[in-house]
Amino acid sequence: MPANAQNKATRHSGRATAPPTRANAKPENSTHADVYALLSRLEKVKENGPGRWLACCPAHQDRSPSLAVRETPDGTILVKCFAGCPTPDVLAAVGLELKDLFPQRGRDDYHASKRPGERWVPRDVLSAIAQEALITLIAAEATHRGDRLERVDLDRLVTAAGRLRSAAREVGCHV
């Protein structure tokens, strides 16, 4: 076993085990976040139960494990440094980001079902309003810079304004 792998070898129940990798992992669900991508980058990893590990925190000089890692049933990875390091700092120290802790969804846009009496899904409405507001902001910035808007841009701005006014009227605001 190479020296680096020996450093990462863990002790559990009095016997040395290989560091967690995909090779010795349970079959993975393709939608789950990859806990082994995180664990393989940590030092002194010890399995602490099913889906739970302790390791040295890479965000501070850690000699004994103070970082808890847990994989939830839905595939989300929870990370807690008991010395107080923020999770983004822990992940940055091993070249990962917060998004790496969450399962991938089949589609990037989430649609919750409507509640009784609702005509739209609130998240979809907010997304549409945000998009129209962005169109308005882009036009306002161009105008502020002194740029003249082309006809197609003016038409899109009129559409955005109409959609925003319609949304406001729908909830009882008459602007």
**Mean pLDDT in residue range 7-13:** 37
Instruction: Please say if the pLDDT value at position 33 is more than 80.
Output: no
Instruction: Map residue 93 onto helix, strand or coil.
Output: helix
Residue identified by tokens 């789950």 is 32
- List the single range of 92-96, 104-108, 123-127, 132-136 with lowest mean pLDDT: 104-108
What does the alpha-carbon distance between residue 74 and residue 13 come to, in Å, rounded to a whole number? 28
Contacts with 90 (C-beta within 8 Å, 6 or more apart), sequence order: 57, 58, 59, 67, 79, 81
Enter the tokens of residue 57: 């925190």
Asked if residue 1 has pLDDT above 50, the reply is no
Helix then strand then coil, in percent of the chain rounded to 5, is 35, 15, 45
For residue 173, what pLDDT is reported?
A: 80
pLDDT digits (tens, 9 = 90+) for 100-124: 898 876 655 555 556 676 677 777 8
Please give the pLDDT value at position 27.
43
φ, ψ for residue 28, nearest 5 deg: -95, 150
